[in-house]
Chain A
């Protein structure tokens, strides 16, 4: 199981996560911040739990690229 979290309010909308993991992230046209697709929100933290291990790599890259370090990825 892969767990990805996005602390969305701190996003500066640079788009790198989308470039690296387009299946998981999308830029919102509404507020210009990143959206973690299929995620659930709790207190500003958006979490996606996925059984698909293939998303680990791209999400990891996105987490590394994010200039404000608001993406975290875990394999549990």
Chain B
């Protein structure tokens, strides 16, 4: 079995660090407006590229810049600027959809990956894009059997990318699925003038709808009113088959997600990939990972189309089915490195001994731990409340830019 690359989403420095700390082999991210998460209030800027590159190179992690929206004429020069800056900052590759982006990247000598937005579903298309790209994301609509056929064909026909190496196949392993063909949805453009194909999806498919017969006014009864909101893709329980399909890169969706989401999902998939490599992958482990994955944002899980063309499975609600949630408590104030003690100011709720806390920050990433001992305003107390200053032994550095949360159970409606 070949070694596969685990690719993590990074929407900001918190998530980037979480990905690096939990074993990602590569990360993908967008800067400025031309990426599928352009709307997100958190987004990297051009100036962040060198820092992203530095942090990743330190760990030998590859970096991919997503530049995969539709491109207008007025975007052409910013495309050039983005690719140029990415190259200068030593970013590994650009993930592209538009042919203009592919051309610019090739002209500037930048490695290209073909985005899922292109929807590659057959070997001839692979051959076509092999003229420009070394790695291609397969369409989410393919079954694993079809993916396997394509990867076998690449090997057989020796289809190589510009680097001279065999074309590599990437697929999505975990995260949200779209009701439309990726990157080709008009829903939020119609309802809110907010084009998904420009990275401004309003996620209307995640809402509840009723179907009404206009002639009679009869409302169609639907078993599940969230008819356009698919459950999230999860492949951890059949990851051996996924890897066996000949893929090289397993991509995790979620650039809009919180850092603890990235930490949790990457950690689980890292362990799963490693255990397949060393032969310790087991049913028991899968059960454990599933429980971990359910803790963070999810709409319920299913296997997508990979195991055959079964009908979509729709989520039962608009929100998350996560079994845990975080509650904001306060912020980092100071760290005493010699004693390994972190000081926090409580700004909301309270914090008690035994609580599980989550600390997130641009350099800290997302780290979880249990509070075993703490001082509240320099006194040994069991509980700190709003306004208190608490100090807790913490094995890693705490910064003033860090946020402190506590993890609590999330009551999920079935």
- Interface residues of A, Cβ cutoff 8 Å to B: 11-16, 27-33, 64-68
**Residue B386, interface by CB 8 Å:** no
Q: Which of B41-88 contact A (CB under 8 A)?
A: 72, 74-79, 81
Q: Which of B74, B81, B192, B193 contacts A13 (CB 8 A)?
A: B74
- 8 more contacts with CB within 8 A, not counting A14-B195, A31-B77, are A12-B38, A15-B72, A15-B74, A29-B77, A31-B78, A32-B34, A67-B193, A67-B202
A67's partner among B39, B72, B78 (CB-CB below 8 A) is: B39
Where the two chains meet, the residues of B that have a C-beta atom closer than 8 Å to any C-beta of A are 32-34, 38-39, 72, 74-79, 81, 192-195, 198-200, 202
Sample 18 A-B pairs with CB under 8 A, ordered by A number.
A12-B199, A12-B200, A13-B33, A13-B34, A13-B74, A13-B75, A13-B78, A14-B198, A29-B74, A31-B77, A32-B34, A67-B39, A67-B192, A67-B194, A67-B198, A67-B202, A68-B39, A68-B200
Q: Is the CB of B77 within 8 A of A67?
A: no
Residues of B within 8 A of A27 (CB): 72, 74
* A11–B282 CA distance with the chains assembled, in angstroms: 48
A15 contacts which chain B residues (CB < 8 A)?
A: 72, 74
Alpha-carbon gap, A51 to B186, bound state (A): 38
Task: Determine how close the nearest CB of chain B comes to the CB of A25; give it in whole angstroms.
Answer: 11
Q: How far is the CA of A68 from the CA of B37 in the complex (A)?
A: 12
Task: Give the distance to chain B from A29, nearest Cβ to Cβ, in Å.
Answer: 5
Q: How far is the CA of A27 from the CA of B78 in the complex (A)?
A: 12
Establish whether residues B198 and A28, one from each chain, have CB atoms under 8 Å apart when the complex forms. no
Residue of B whose beta carbon sits closest to that of A26: B74
Minimum CB distance partner of A14 in chain B: B198
B38 neighbours in A (Cβ, 8 Å): 12
Query: With A27-B72, A32-B33 given, is the CB distance from A16 to B78 under 8 Å?
Result: no
Residues of chain A within 8 A (CB-CB) of B32 are: 31
Q: How far is the CA of A15 from the CA of B194 in the complex (A)?
A: 11
Residues of B within 8 A of A12 (CB): 33, 38-39, 198-200
Q: Please, which residues of chain A bring their CB within 8 A of the CB of B195? A: 14, 67
The interface residues of chain B lying within 8 Å CB-to-CB of A68 are 39, 200
* A66-B202 Cα distance, complex, nearest whole Å: 13
Contact of B33 among A11, A29, A30 (CB under 8 A): A11
Chain B positions within 8 Å of A32 at CB level: 33-34, 72, 74-75, 77-79
| Highest count of chain A CB atoms <10 Å: which of B34, B194, B195 | B194
Cα-based distance from A32 to B74 in the complex (angstroms): 5
Contacts of B72 in A (CB 8 A): 13, 15, 27, 32
A residues less than 8 Å from B81 (CB atoms): 31
- Rounded to whole angstroms, the CA-CA distance of A27 and B76 in the bound complex is 12
CA distance A68 to B38 in the complex (A): 9
Bound complex: CA of A65 vs CA of B34, how far in Å?
19
Contact A16 B39 (CB under 8 A): no
Contacts of B194 in A (CB 8 A): 67
Q: Which one of A13, A30, A66 has the highest number of Cβ atoms from chain B below 10 Å of its Cβ?
A: A13
Give Cα A29 to B192, complex, Å.
26
